[in-house]
Amino acid sequence: MELANWENRSWVTANMINPAFVATILVAATEMYENESGDCMPWELVFLAAPMALHRDTREALPIRINSYASKWVTENSALLASLPKRVVSMRPYTREGLRYALRAGSLEVVEGDRLRGRSAWKLDKDRDAELAYIIQRAAFLGRWFAAAGSPATLYALFGVTP
């Protein structure tokens, strides 16, 4: 799927799925993955992080603690996750666009050829930007949770997403 020219995108797409915001989500996830695991995040996981953090019902259903078993959470939220594979596919072009944006801006870097390191440089006014701060916080949680949950192949299989 090719993305529409910027001026032809809907207002919602231009504001909620813009490259800078998606990049911010990816940076938060990669940064916290590394903080949790001590290793940089495998690049494949960005394609799970963005659609999960941006989808309101999914981000609100995420567990609070990273020691929550992903398999148990998937079982308890199977109806919610039934649409995840489709969301991952439909978000793929936006995730790629955000990934390219973050790489060009220097907030993500490729390490060891197949891993990503994030470096955040933003400050949000949590009172004024509460919804954005919450989405970014949930993306950061996903990074930590993914680090504790297993390999990308395991996570993709667990969430029912085929590469």
d(CA 137, CA 8): 30
Residue 42, Cβ neighbours under 10 Å: how many? Answer: 18
* Structure-token pair, residue 146: 């993914």
CA–CA distances in Å: residue 47 to residues 7, 11, 63, 96: 25, 23, 19, 8
d(CA 26, CA 40): 12
The pLDDT of residue 31: 96
pLDDT at 3 > cutoff 70: no
The average pLDDT across 32-39 equals: 96
91, 54 Cβ separation under 8 angstroms: yes
* 3-class DSSP state of 123: coil
* Structure-token pair, residue 142: 């996903």
Q: Which amino acid is present at 47? A: F
The pLDDT of residue 41: 97
**Could you tell me what percent of the chain has a pLDDT over 90?**
69
The pLDDT of residue 128: 72
161, 44 Cβ separation under 8 angstroms: no
